[in-house]
Structures are given as structure tokens and as C-alpha cells.
């Protein structure tokens, strides 16, 4: 019986489930990574926009020459000692002092509100320090060096325990004409890099904005994973049921085959038994004909010969009648010998297979007038009775078919004994025939059955007008070679 397919094994279902789960988890992880990259990209865009906005405000403040505000509300009042101050009166007549803010103070004020209200940390820094409070840290130093080499922006995502971390972004600050007066001691030319504007953003806010999308992706993956599991189980279930049905059909087919083989074996055993009984019966009849009827005819011939000699004195008619009767008896003896030889050649038992084949071929040529060429590679074949009888009967039946149907004028018979088998060939140049399975050719069937019962084979090659070639192969048994 065929082995069951591996696809229906429970281990296969488990492996497919694990593989599908891993694929779903991997896809979910890829979606999370894509959302994280999107969050970082949005934070980067937001950071750059804020930095450029602050730079634009600082540049505007520089272009208008400063902005006057109430001195009481001015940031970093200690750094405004050199700034211009004026007095102003409000609508109710109160007098208060206004101080002029530099662009940098304006920007610092905006950054202070941004840091306090939005949780963003913005600062200006430079490798050519004008204010020691803006000394860059390690990352800012590396970022400034990258900006000096031509980079337009430097970013870094900083992991943080218990959260999604920070995103740090720095863009370059170029030296403008309005900046030269305050930063002339740095010796940076107009258009050169005098520093960088950096901002640190908390990524948690951007990640939190993605939570609805992330939950939708999770639910979608869960639904796809569950549907996939159902499809895998359904495929496995129906495949298993089909495999079971195929297994049952295969078992039934194997059972029918075994029964058929057993039936064929019993039929072959019966055919072999019948063939053996037939050969034994032929041998018995041939011996009885030879021993009893042959002896009786021989004695009758002797008596008729004596009677013919005694009838000379009675005249010619009596002598002729006695001679005619003697001729009939002699012809009967010849016919008896021929019938006995056909039933069971005495030479096969007394002189062996080679002599029996040679005698039969000689008698065939005499009886039919067809030349027959016989070739054997042994002077005698040491075979058991069943094998020797089968070889002789196949050759006998083949020559009988030649005499009856072939209309041949030449026949060749070859018998060779090898280390493991007997090979025989009977070839004629007759009219040939077309094999027809529906036609009951019992002679050919009998030859094939004889070969098959002994574990051999028989091939018949024939075409109309091209003669017939019968080739047999019969294996030698151990007792045949001892």
C-alpha cells in the first residue's frame, strides 16, 4: 500500500500554523516599523518647519532693527544693558519703559515659550562660540561638522527607556549681513556657516497620533491571521479526508489485486498439474501401446509370416491374401510407433532431450519435406524432466504449426544452454500472420503457458509475408544443474 501523503500529517498542520503565525507577526512588525519611520519623518518635517520659522522671525527682527517691548516683560534682562530704552505712555496716562530686543533675544523668547508650552527644546549653537551658554554637546559637535561638509540637515533618533525617545534635528545657520556686526570676531564670511539651529522633539506625541491606525492594522492582521488559519485547517481537513478515501480505495484495489494474483496462481498451479497429469497419461498410454498392443501386433506379424510360408502349397490366391494381411499388420505397427512417439517420445526418457529433438526434427523433415536446420550447443542437456519436456513440447508445437499453417520451405531450430537458462528459437520463412488477441490460438497459448509455469517467457514475432520467429527463455533450476 502506498504511504500516506505528508500533507495530511498532524505535524504538517502544526508547521503550517506556526509558519502562518510567524508570517502574520512579521507583517505586523513591518507595519509597525513603517509607522515608526512615518512618525520620525513627520517629526523631522515639523522640526525643520519650526526651525525655519524661528529663523525667519529672527531675520525679520534684524531687518526692522529690533522690536521694543515692555522692559518688565523682556527675557534675559541682564543681557540687555546696552540696548536702547525709551519711555512710553499708555491710554490711561501711565508711563512705562520700553527696551529694544535684538533678533537673538526675540528668538530666545520664542524658544522659551515653545519649550515650556510644547515640550520642545530649541537652541542655537556653534563651533565659533559667541556665547558660552551655547557650547555644543557631542552630538551637536558632530552635527556641526557634518553641516560644514555640506549637509543641509542632520537628524538622530535617541532611544529612551519607557518611551519612544527623542528626535534631534539641526539645520545650518548662515552668516547674513545683519549678523556681521555682532559676530565679526568669529571671522566667518557672509554666506559661511556660523552655527546651527537644533531642536529636540518628543516622538511620543507622533506615535500617539498613530494609535488609531496601529489598532486598525492590528485588528486587520488578526482577522487575516484567523481567516488564514481557517483556510489552512479546511485544506488540511479535506486533504486528510481525501487521503483516507484514497487509502481505502487503494486497500480495496490491493485486496482485489491480491485475490486476482492468488486466483491466477491457483489457475497456473492447476494448469501445471493438468499438464503433468496429461504428460503422465500420455506416457502411460504410450507405454501400454508399445508394450501390449505393439507386442500383440508383432506376434501377429510373426504368425502371419509363418502362415504365408505354409500357404505356398495352397496356391497363389491364398498366398497373396496372407501377404496382404501381413502388410496391413506391418503398417499398423508403424502407425502404432508413430502414435506412441507423438504421445511420449521414448528417446526423451531413454536417450535425453538432445537426441529426442534431433529425432523429431529428422522425422519432421521426412514427413513434410521441409528442410530443417538444427543447432545445439550441447551434445546433451542435463535438465529435470519438467524442463526437458517443456522444451521438447514447445519445439514440437512450433514445428506442428509450421507444417499446418506456415507454407514454409525452410525452418531453423536452435537450442542453447547458458549458465542460467535454456534459450530456444524456431524460425521459418513462411507466410507469417498478424497477431489477433480475439482469435483462440490455443497452440501459441499452450506454448506461452508452458514457459510461464516454469518462470520463463515466450516471444512470437511474425509479420505477413516475413515468416515467424518464436523465441523462448526458460530459467534453469538448481536441481537441473546438479
Four-point Cα dihedral 14, 17, 23, 27, nearest 10: -150
| Bridging pattern class, strands 411-417 and 372-376 | parallel
Non-local CB neighbours of 191 within 8 Å, separated by 6+ positions: 174, 175
In order, the DSSP letters of 247-296 are: HHHHHHHHHHHHHHHHHHHHHHHHHHHHHHHHHHHHHHHHHHIIIIIHHH
Summarize pLDDT for 429-439 with one digit per residue, the tens. Answer: 888 887 655 45
| Predicted confidence (pLDDT) at residue 25 exceeds the cutoff of 90 | yes
pLDDT (0 to 100) of residue 438: 46
| Predicted confidence (pLDDT) at residue 1 exceeds the cutoff of 60 | no
Output 329 or 80, whichever has higher pLDDT. Answer: 329
pLDDT (0 to 100) of residue 167: 83
Q: Which of 121, 137, 141, 142 lies closest to 51, judged by CA?
A: 121
| Predicted confidence (pLDDT) at residue 413 exceeds the cutoff of 70 | yes
Four-point Cα dihedral 67, 72, 76, 81, nearest 10: 80
CA–CA gap between residue 370 and residue 250 (Å, rounded): 55
| Predicted confidence (pLDDT) at residue 250 exceeds the cutoff of 80 | yes
Cell digits of residue 374: 538444427
pLDDT (0 to 100) of residue 97: 79
Q: pLDDT confidence of 81, banded at 50, 70, 90?
A: low
Q: pLDDT confidence of 196, banded at 50, 70, 90?
A: confident
Find how far residue 102's CA is from the centre of its chain: 80
User: Mean pLDDT across the stretch 224-243?
Assistant: 89
Whether the CB-CB separation of 394 and 472 falls below 8 Å is answered with yes
Which of 66-75, 316-325, 452-461 has the largest mean confidence?
452-461
Q: pLDDT confidence of 471, banded at 50, 70, 90?
A: very high
User: Mean pLDDT across the stretch 130-155?
Assistant: 83
- Looking at the DSSP assignment, which residues form a beta bridge with residue 416? 423
Which of 95-109, 131-145, 418-432 has the largest mean confidence?
418-432
Four-point Cα dihedral 155, 158, 159, 160, nearest 10: -140
Produce one character per residue of 412-430: b if its CB has 16 or more CB atoms within 10 Å, e if not.
ebebebeeeebebbbbbbb
User: Mean pLDDT across the stretch 264-289?
Assistant: 67
- Looking at the DSSP assignment, which residues form a beta bridge with residue 195? 173
Question: How many of the other CB atoms lie within 10 Å of CB of 197?
Answer: 23
Compute CA distances 374 → 370, 378, 414, 442, whole Å: 13, 12, 6, 25
Q: pLDDT confidence of 470, banded at 50, 70, 90?
A: very high
User: Mean pLDDT across the stretch 360-365?
Assistant: 88
Find how far residue 429's CA is from the centre of its chain: 52
At residue 85, the 3 state secondary structure works out as: strand
pLDDT (0 to 100) of residue 2: 46
pLDDT (0 to 100) of residue 186: 65
Q: pLDDT confidence of 309, banded at 50, 70, 90?
A: confident
Whether the CB-CB separation of 346 and 359 falls below 8 Å is answered with no
Query: How deeply is 99 buried, as exposed, middle or buried, from its count of CB atoms within 10 A (0-12, 13-18, 19+)?
Result: buried
pLDDT (0 to 100) of residue 99: 76
Non-local CB neighbours of 44 within 8 Å, separated by 6+ positions: 153, 155, 167, 169
pLDDT (0 to 100) of residue 480: 46
CA–CA gap between residue 52 and residue 196 (Å, rounded): 11
pLDDT (0 to 100) of residue 154: 87
| Predicted confidence (pLDDT) at residue 80 exceeds the cutoff of 80 | no
Cell digits of residue 110: 520664542
pTM metric for this prediction: 0.46
Amino acid at each position: 500500500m502506498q504511504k500516506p501523503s505528508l500533507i495530511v500529517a498532524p505535524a504538517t498542520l502544526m508547521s503550517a500554523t506556526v509558519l502562518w503565525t510567524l508570517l502574520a507577526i512579521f507583517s505586523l512588525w513591518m507595519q509597525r516599523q513603517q509607522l515608526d519611520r512615518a512618525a520620525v519623518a513627520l517629526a523631522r518635517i515639523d522640526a525643520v518647519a519650526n526651525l525655519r520659522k524661528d529663523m525667519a522671525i529672527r531675520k525679520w527682527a534684524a531687518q526692522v532693527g529690533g522690536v521694543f517691548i515692555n522692559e518688565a516683560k523682556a527675557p534675559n534682562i541682564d543681557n540687555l544693558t546696552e540696548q536702547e530704552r525709551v519711555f512710553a505712555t499708555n491710554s490711561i496716562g501711565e508711563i512705562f519703559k520700553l527696551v529694544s530686543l535684538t533678533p537673538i533675544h526675540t528668538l530666545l523668547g520664542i524658544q522659551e515659550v515653545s519649550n515650556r508650552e510644547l515640550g520642545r527644546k530649541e537652541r542655537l549653537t556653534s563651533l565659533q562660540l559667541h556665547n558660552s551658554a551655547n557650547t555644543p554637546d557631542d552630538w551637536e559637535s558632530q552635527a556641526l561638522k557634518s553641516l560644514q561638509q555640506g549637509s543641509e540637515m542632520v537628524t538622530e533618533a535617541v532611544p529612551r527607556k519607557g518611551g519612544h525617545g527623542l528626535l534631534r534635528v539641526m539645520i545650518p545657520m548662515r552668516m547674513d549681513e545683519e549678523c556681521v556686526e555682532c559676530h565679526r570676531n568669529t571671522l566667518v564670511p557672509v554666506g559661511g556657516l556660523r552655527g546651527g539651529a537644533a531642536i529636540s522633539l518628543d516622538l511620543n506625541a507622533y506615535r500617539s497620533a498613530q494609535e488609531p491606525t496601529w489598532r486598525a492594522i492590528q485588528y486587520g492582521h488578526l482577522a487575516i491571521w484567523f481567516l488564514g488559519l481557517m483556510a489552512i485547517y479546511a485544506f488540511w481537513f479535506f486533504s486528510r479526508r481525501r487521503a483516507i478515501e484514497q487509502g481505502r480505495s487503494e486497500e480495496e484495489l490491493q485486496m482485489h489485486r491480491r485475490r486476482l494474483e492468488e486466483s491466477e496462481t491457483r489457475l497456473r498451479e492447476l494448469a501445471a498439474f493438468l499438464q503433468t497429469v496429461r504428460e503422465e497419461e500420455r506416457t502411460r498410454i504410450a507405454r501400454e501401446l508399445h508394450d501390449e498392443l505393439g507386442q500383440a501386433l508383432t506376434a501377429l506379424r510373426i504368425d502371419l509370416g509363418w502362415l504365408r510360408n505354409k500357404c505356398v502349397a495352397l496356391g497363389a490366391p491364398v498366398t497373396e491374401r496372407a501377404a496382404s494381411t501381413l502388410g496391413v499388420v506391418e503398417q499398423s505397427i508403424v502407425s502404432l510407433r508413430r502414435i506412441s512417439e507423438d504421445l511420449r517420445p521414448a528417446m526423451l526418457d531413454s536417450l535425453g532431450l538432445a537426441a529426442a529433438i534431433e529425432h523429431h526434427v529428422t522425422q519432421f523433415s521426412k514427413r513434410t519435406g521441409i528442410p530443417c536446420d538444427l543447432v545445439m550447443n550441447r551434445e546433451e542437456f542435463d535438465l529435470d524432466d519438467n524442463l526437458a519436456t517443456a522444451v521438447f513440447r514447445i519445439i514440437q508445437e512450433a514445428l506442428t504449426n509450421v507444417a499446418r499453417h506456415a507454407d514454409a520451405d525452410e525452418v531453423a531450430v536452435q537450442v542453447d544452454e547458458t549458465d542460467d537458462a535454456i534459450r530456444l528459437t524456431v524460425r521459418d520463412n513462411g507466410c507469417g500472420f498478424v497477431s489477433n488477441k480475439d482469435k483462440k490460438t490455443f497452440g501459441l497459448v499452450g506454448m506461452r503457458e508452458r514457459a510461464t509455469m516454469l518462470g520463463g517467457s515466450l516471444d512470437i514475432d511474425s509479420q505477413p509475408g516475413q515468416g515467424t520467429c518464436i523465441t523462448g527463455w526458460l530459467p534453469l533450476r538448481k536441481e537441473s544443474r546438479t
